[in-house]
Structure 1
Amino acid sequence: MNPMKMRDMVEKYVIAYNSFDIEGMIALLHEEIEFRNFSNGSVDVETKGIEEFWGIAEQSKSLFSHRCQTIVGYSFEDDKLQIELDYEGILAKDLPNGIKAGEKIQMKGKSVFAFKNDKIAVIEDYS
């Protein structure tokens, strides 16, 4: 896939994510989407397929009253696009780890996107 098309698709995905627009996110995904979230070097969330992704997206949406990913860098390799990002979120409810509703979370991370049939087929988030 053309790097500019990959970049455009990922930017649309991030806009939909920031807007809590799950349908907009799903529209960009391959039906066999694979999603993995890596935290501190290990996978803490993994889904396969649109339905599982939708479920985790709905669950994540309910955790935040505000969230914003800001892309600060891009790199391309073969059929993959990696973005470096700054993340900010405000919790909508208390978490088991002691973080309370209304608290702001800020972190840096990266996401790697792979593509198939002009759709996003793999998303790997690292924080």
Structure 2
Amino acid sequence: MTDQEQIVKNYIEAYNNFDIEGMLNDLHPDILFENVSGGKTDLTLRGIFDFEQQARKAIAFFSQRKQAITSINKNNNTVTVDINYTGILAQDLPNGMKKGDTITLKGRSIFDFKDRKITHIRDES
């Protein structure tokens, strides 16, 4: 396993454990984060401050969440992971989903690196 692959695994483990500080550990200060759902970008963040604020908001939505890596591939300075995602809602959502409902998704996360820091995360589902 490469250092970059281990950094990605550490990030996902921190995510699963609601550990915001752990998630931020290996992020570049100018991190670019994109969430793509159904082929459309629905969230773009730039900078570690905005990323942290969004991460703190997101944890309130779930009582449990888990990204399980099903495959991991490294190509130059990019690590791509396929994931199975499961989350249990901690509150009702405007789309009609209720507290206690389970969300399951298959997705892919792409992590770009520079100088041993994650510079870009693109989550696709």
Fold equivalence (TM over 0.5): yes
Any gaps of 5 or more consecutive residues in structure 2?
none
SS of equivalent to 2:56: helix
Residues 71-125 of structure 1: CA deviation (Å, up to 9, x unaligned): 0101222210100000000000111110001001111000000001111110000
What letter is aligned with 1:21?
A: D
> Partner residue of 2:39?
41
> How big is the alpha-carbon RMSD for the aligned residues of Structure 1 and Structure 2?
0.8
SS of equivalent to 1:112: strand
- The answer on whether the counterparts of 2:62 and 2:90 sit within 8 Å (CA) in structure 1 is yes
Residues 24-62 of structure 1: CA deviation (Å, up to 9, x unaligned): 111110100000000010111110001000011011111
Bigger shift: residues 59-68 or 3-12: 3-12
- The answer on whether the counterparts of 2:90 and 2:100 sit within 8 Å (CA) in structure 1 is yes
Of the candidates 91, 95, 106, which is equivalent to residue 93 of structure 1? 91
Q: Distance in 1 between matches of 2:43 and 2:57?
A: 12
Identity of aligned residues (%): 42
Map 1:1-127 → 2, pairs under 5 A: 4-127=2-125
- Count of aligned pairs between the two proteins: 125
- The answer on whether the counterparts of 2:14 and 2:23 sit within 8 Å (CA) in structure 1 is yes
Any gaps of 5 or more consecutive residues in structure 1?
none
TM-score normalised to structure 2 length: 0.97
What letter is aligned with 2:91?
A: K
What letter is aligned with 2:120?
A: V
